[in-house]
Amino acid sequence: MITNIENYFNSCVNYWMSKGDSRDVATVKALWWDCVEVWNAGKLWTDEKVAFINQWRKYEPYGPVPEAKRVEEGNA
């Protein structure tokens, strides 16, 4: 079953790909900019969101986010 979180993430990946990014770069941008930064800014973290992010990379809510250049290169 695909969750609302996965649907949101996948739509963000598709957005970045529509702007010309490869799937890998689009995935990194969606993860850090559309999920982590948005959830940090809005204090929107839930246990489900933490579990989702931790599938990709260990992250503690409100922790540092990689610098933009690394995200844009898909190296974050």
Residue 2 has pLDDT above 80, yes or no: no
Mean pLDDT computed over 44-73: 95
Which residue's entry shows tokens 């931790």?
Answer: 54
Gap between the Cα atoms of 46 and 52, Å rounded: 10
Using one digit for the tens of pLDDT, what is the confidence trace for 4-45? 999 999 999 999 999 999 999 999 999 999 999 999 999 999
* pTM, full prediction: 0.92
Domain enclosing residue 15, as ranges: 4-73
Instruction: Give the pLDDT of residue 1.
Output: 66
**Count of domains for the chain:** 1
